[in-house]
Structure 1
Amino acid sequence: MSESLRIVVVAPDLDIADEDPQALQQAERSRALRIGLLENGYNLVAVLPADPFLTERLAQLHPDLVIVDAESEARDALEHVVMATREAPRPIVLFTNDSDTSQVRHAVAAGVTAYIVAGLEAARIRPILDVALARFEHEQALRAELDSARTELRERKTIERAKGLLMQRQGLSEPEAYARLRKTAMDKGLRLHEVAQRMLDVIDLLA
């Protein structure tokens, strides 16, 4: 699967113009991450900065997973990535050497799938990404199930309201009102809740 998995790394520019030890350390870490991805057979399609253009770039590249490689600016980078993936959710994995874990709760709440501190050994990259993908797919399935349940509840309420109006205005019993809605839906090739909603819309207009 790794051969076809398209990965984008969001990281600061590696062109270090000075001898700042922290910047040099982060540059080395970023290089190690990219080498580790390539050694594990992943398709590293791009390395992008966390800037206002990230949304457009991710939309063009369609990655399967986004890795954030950040240190002190991790929160800013995460905000850019989360905003960029809001319309098209993707697994987000944060690699950092920053031992300050105060941002973990914020990161997970924002949509980060895995928050990895000091876990950049090449041998760990594959299991970390595999777990992140599995967790993301599980969460997406749960969200889809929840959305489906909410939609079903809304549709049921619409049908119940339409049945109630038919019973009140035309003196029908509940089974008769339901049968009327169901027959109309079958005749018009519509779903039951669509017929109910159209009926409610007409009644609201005439009210």
Structure 2
Amino acid sequence: MRILLADENRGRARALSDIFAGDPSLELVRLVPGQSLIDAVSLHGPDVVLVDISRPDRDALDSVRALAVSGSRRPVVLFVDEDDTDLMEAAFEAGVCSYNVVDTPPKDVKPLLRAAIALYDRFRRTEDELRVAQQQLSDRATVDRAKAVLMRTNRMSEPEAYRWLRRRAMDQARKLADVAEDYLRTSSEGHEG
């Protein structure tokens, strides 16, 4: 597991480095001062990003937010100096998948990172499934609208309208929803299909 450590707390960073150094299955890379989080993730390709916010500020959360919407998305584990409900909500909204108060004993960090990665992967799968379901609903609504226009303008039954769209999709080797969308865009009431 490759871990990108972006921690301003030198003592904690050293303690974490020592823990990670004792485990050959873990590789630790550090964020270079002045380097953006996105650049570091692009350069190192970590499995997880470990971030410390000693003094929670907008810039730190903005960099996490930018990472969350970039093509280099990674699970982000956040360490903070004190428990703050508003910061926790803002952190989760920014894309953090694990929020931890500094008192976390260093020995508990590895299981915490594994849990964060598993949670992140599960969230991404759920997010992908939701996106697919939303697209299917949108496609179905487009096909239904196109069928309704065909039925109205060409006096077709619903099965005939569906066969008309399906035949065009097969002839053009395109998705049914794409053909329906094109038909809706180019047709108007009274225009023959």
Q: Report the Cα distance in structure 2 between the residues aligned to 1:114 and 1:161, rounded to whole angstroms.
A: 43
> In the alignment, is the contact (CA less than 8 A) between 1:91 and 1:112 conserved in 2?
yes
Q: Report the Cα distance in structure 2 between the residues aligned to 1:36 and 1:28, rounded to whole angstroms.
A: 13
TM-score by length of 2: 0.86
Alignment match of 1:201 (pick from 161, 185, 190): 185
- Structure 1 equivalent of residue 44 of structure 2: 61
Q: Report the Cα distance in structure 1 between the residues aligned to 2:36 and 2:106, rounded to whole angstroms.
A: 30
Q: Report the Cα distance in structure 1 between the residues aligned to 2:185 and 2:165, rounded to whole angstroms.
A: 14
Structure 2's unaligned 5+ residue stretches are none
Structure 1's unaligned 5+ residue stretches are 13-25
Q: Report the Cα distance in structure 1 between the residues aligned to 2:11 and 2:115, rounded to whole angstroms.
A: 25
**C-alpha displacement of 1:10:** 1.4
**C-alpha displacement of 1:115:** 0.8
**Does residue 1:130 correspond to 2:118, yes or no?**
no
**C-alpha displacement of 1:128:** 0.2
Q: Report the Cα distance in structure 1 between the residues aligned to 2:6 and 2:102, rounded to whole angstroms.
A: 17
Q: Report the Cα distance in structure 2 between the residues aligned to 1:101 and 1:168, rounded to whole angstroms.
A: 56
Q: More displaced, 147-156 or 54-63?
A: 54-63
Using the aligned pairs only, state the percent identity: 34
Q: What letter is aligned with 2:62?
A: E
Moved over 6 A (4+): none
C-alpha distance after superposition, 1:89-128 (max 9, x if no partner): 2110012332445411211122111111134433211210
- Structure 2 equivalent of residue 111 of structure 1: 95
C-alpha distance after superposition, 1:44-95 (max 9, x if no partner): 133244x573323322322221110221135532321221332232110012
C-alpha distance after superposition, 1:140-173 (max 9, x if no partner): 1111111111101110111011111111111100
Q: Report the Cα distance in structure 1 between the residues aligned to 2:149 and 2:136, rounded to whole angstroms.
A: 20
Q: What letter is aligned with 1:36?
A: I
> In the alignment, is the contact (CA less than 8 A) between 2:77 and 2:99 conserved in 1?
yes
> In the alignment, is the contact (CA less than 8 A) between 1:9 and 1:68 conserved in 2?
yes
Q: What letter is aligned with 2:20?
A: L
Q: Report the Cα distance in structure 2 between the residues aligned to 1:52 and 1:170, rounded to whole angstroms.
A: 62
Q: Report the Cα distance in structure 2 between the residues aligned to 1:36 and 1:79, rounded to whole angstroms.
A: 29
**SS of residue in 2 equivalent to 1:175:** helix
Residues 70 and 173 from structure 1, CA distance in 2 versus in 1: closer, same or farther, beyond 3 angstroms? Answer: same
TM-score by length of 1: 0.81
1:88-99 correspondence to structure 2 within 5 Å: 88=71, 89-99=73-83
**SS of residue in 2 equivalent to 1:94:** strand
Q: Tell me the matched-pair count.
A: 188
Alignment match of 2:131 (pick from 132, 141, 147): 147
Residues 93 and 10 from structure 1, CA distance in 2 versus in 1: closer, same or farther, beyond 3 angstroms? Answer: same
> In the alignment, is the contact (CA less than 8 A) between 1:9 and 1:67 conserved in 2?
yes
